[in-house]
Amino acid sequence: MFPSISNAEFYQKSKQTHKQKHTPLMIIDVRESDEFAEGHIPDAIKRSLSTLVKEKDSFIEDDTYCVICHSGKRATQACNYFNGDGIQVVNVLGGMSEWRGC
C-alpha cells in the first residue's frame, strides 16, 4: 500500500517547500499530453500513465514522488504500479480537478 495526501495538504507542502527553498517536490503528472498542455503544476514531470512501463528506469528508488492526474484514478493506478517495484510514491487525492495552486 502507498500513502495518499489531500489536495489541500499537497498544496501547503508544495508552498512550504518553495518558500524554504528545499529540494523541490518530485511531482509526476500522469495525464495525457493534451491535458498537461491545458495546465499543470509548475515543475511537474509529465509521464503519461500509458508510458510509465517504458520510463520506469528513469525514477530513482530513494526519491519520493507525488503522483497526480485529473481526478485520482490514473494516479492510483500509477502508484500501484510503482509501489510494487520499490519506488516511493504519494497519491495526490482529487488530482488537478481540485488543484487551486499557482
Which amino acid is located at 82 in the chain? F
Q: Is 69 a catalytic residue?
A: yes
46 touches 34 (CB < 8 A): no
Beta strands in the chain (DSSP E): 4-5, 26-29, 45-46, 64-68, 88-92
Q: Which residue in the list 66, 69, 79, 102 is annotated as catalytic?
A: 69
Residues with active-site annotation: 69
